[in-house]
Amino acid sequence: MSEQEIVTDVVIIGAGPVGLFAVFELGLLDIKCHLIDILDKPGGQCAELYPEKPIYDIPAFPEISGQELTDNLLKQAEPFGPTYHYNRMVNELEKQDKGDYLVKTDAGETFRCKVVVIAAGGGSFQPKRPPVPNIEDYENTSVFYAVRKMDDFRDHDIVIVGGGDSALDWTLNLAPLAKSLTLVHRRDSFRAHTDSVNKMRALVEEGKINFELGQIASLEGENGQISAVNIKNADGEKSLPATRLMPFFGLTMKLGPVANWGLNLHENLIEVDTEKFATSEEGIFAIGDINYYPGKLKLILSGFHEAALMAQAAKKIIHPDEKVVFQYTTSSTKLQKKLGVK
């Protein structure tokens, strides 16, 4: 896939709270950002793991939920017009001559920038893999955790496992084009929206799809192509003919490609200094939960502080000839103009 390069000052890897606040701090210094996250939404752990839970240790907010914090950070970053790219993983980071970096995603884009900010938190959120023997041999050829192209499922014997919205939505979407479709779930009760569940039950009644109670026990197939999914339930084992399998057990954090970028690591965390939060590579910074330095606390508060100091150091790389004057947002007309204060 050859696409045009997207040229920007900074690419931020991870749109968790710390990546979002970095947009603000960099923006005050006239630096433009693109953010990339594998999730389909901003907020990182706050949005994915505890949107409804109150956080009590954000300065000046006696209580704020993970989602409210995320929404506020988005609003705060808005004046600086960041570009968000969701549903894609950053898998490559390459240094070019003249100190530029190329950042590549699994969606085929390439970004060219002077500074990379890694705000990858606890790692990228990736689908949980069922502990079924040899399942990895079939992944991305006949076992999928997401649908990229519906056509890859046309006229296939599809088995979908799970009881949440992803499982039910894809059951409903793929049913019309499948050769056969079986939904497998451990119980006859679903977490998904009632509306989707009712539609699914109607399709089962009409004999258009099948529903089986149970869970995956093993797979049959060869050369990356499955031929059957064996499930087990209270009655024993049962073999379902299948050429496509989609397990939906939610997401879990995994360090992922960050470990392959040649940066100094400390127990899977990126080592940084505490003046600039710079990594062992000039022009690459790491802030938030992903970094390590003596005394590090994995708190949102600490990530915010790191973002502010990182921004000062990034400024010197991006606009080396500009002198940075320290200013307060309360009193600087210049900063207020940038923020759109009337």
Partner 1 sequence: MHIYVTDHNGKEHELEALEGWRVMEVIRDWGLPIKAECGGACACATCHVFVDPDWQDKLHAASDEEEDMLDMVPDVEDNSRLSCQILMSEELDGLKVSLAPSAKPDAEVA
Ligand X SMILES: Cc1cc2nc3c(=O)[nH]c(=O)nc-3n(C[C@H](O)[C@H](O)[C@H](O)COP(=O)(O)OP(=O)(O)OC[C@H]3O[C@@H](n4cnc5c(N)ncnc54)[C@H](O)[C@@H]3O)c2cc1C
Q: CB of residue 131 vs ligand X: minimum separation in angstroms?
A: 22
Residue 84 site contact among ligand X, partner 1, none (CB < 5 to 8 Å, cut-off depends on kind): none
Binding site for ligand X (CB under 6 A): 13-19, 36-39, 44-46, 49-50, 55, 57, 89-90, 119-125, 256-258, 288-289, 298-301, 303
Cα first-last separation, the chain:
45
Find how far residue 217's CA is from the centre of its chain. 29
Query: What is the C-alpha to C-alpha distance for residues 263 and 284, in angstroms, rounded to an integer?
Result: 9
Q: CB of residue 222 vs ligand X: minimum separation in angstroms?
A: 32
Beta carbon nearer to partner 1, 298 or 338: 298
Residue 57 site contact among ligand X, partner 1, none (CB < 5 to 8 Å, cut-off depends on kind): ligand X
Neighbours of 118 (CB within 10 A): 26
Q: Would you say 330 is a known binding-site residue?
A: yes
Q: Would you say 57 is a known binding-site residue?
A: no
**95 — alpha (psi -120 to 50), left (phi > 0) or beta?**
beta
Q: 157 and 179 in contact (C-beta within 8 Å)?
A: yes
Q: Would you say 249 is a known binding-site residue?
A: no
Neighbours of 125 (CB within 10 A): 22
> Of the candidates 248, 313, 261, which has an alpha carbon nearest to the alpha carbon of residue 290?
261
Residue 26 site contact among partner 1, ligand X, none (CB < 5 to 8 Å, cut-off depends on kind): none
Beta carbon nearer to partner 1, 71 or 139: 139
Those residues whose C-beta lies under 8 Å from the C-beta of residue 191, and which sit 6 or more positions away, are 163, 164, 165
Beta carbon nearer to ligand X, 45 or 142: 45
Binding site for partner 1 (CB under 8 A): 49-50, 53, 122, 126-131, 136, 139, 145, 162-164, 185-187, 189-191, 215-216, 247, 249-250, 252-255
With 0-12 / 13-18 / 19 or more C-beta atoms within 10 angstroms meaning exposed / middle / buried, residue 198 is exposed
Q: CB of residue 88 vs partner 1: minimum separation in angstroms?
A: 15
Beta carbon nearer to partner 1, 216 or 286: 216
Question: What residues are designated binding site for FAD?
Answer: 37, 45, 50, 90, 125, 289, 330
